[in-house]
Amino acid sequence: IEILSHKDFVMGTMTTRFIETHFANALKAPSLTAEEKEYADLQMKELKSANLSSQNSRGLLNTSEASPWQSFWRGI
């Protein structure tokens, strides 16, 4: 809503740096508490472990590491 109501957007005078110039703070990652970081790290480890386990059970891995070309959301 802020972008749509910004004068440069409304006037059509914005540039390719519009977001960077006027909304740079909105692009920064939110700060997390130590507890939130720990929880996020744990979830990522579990997700990676589940992904590797799923690939191994289907015989998709010939090495100890998954191919960077494979993605867990593609249902390999």
Residue 24: predicted pLDDT: 80
For residue range 18-62, list pLDDT tens digits in order: 988 988 877 677 788 999 999 999 999 998 888 766 666 555 555
Chain centre to alpha carbon of residue 65: 21
69 to each of 34, 65, 76, how far by Cα in Å? 32, 12, 11
Whether pLDDT at 2 is above 90: no
Continuous H helices in 1-76? 2-5, 7-11, 18-22, 34-57
Alpha carbons 21 and 65: distance in angstroms, whole number: 41
The pLDDT, as a whole number, for residue 49 is 86
How many beta carbons lie within 10 A of that of residue 45, not counting itself? Answer: 10
- Predicted pLDDT of residue 59: 57
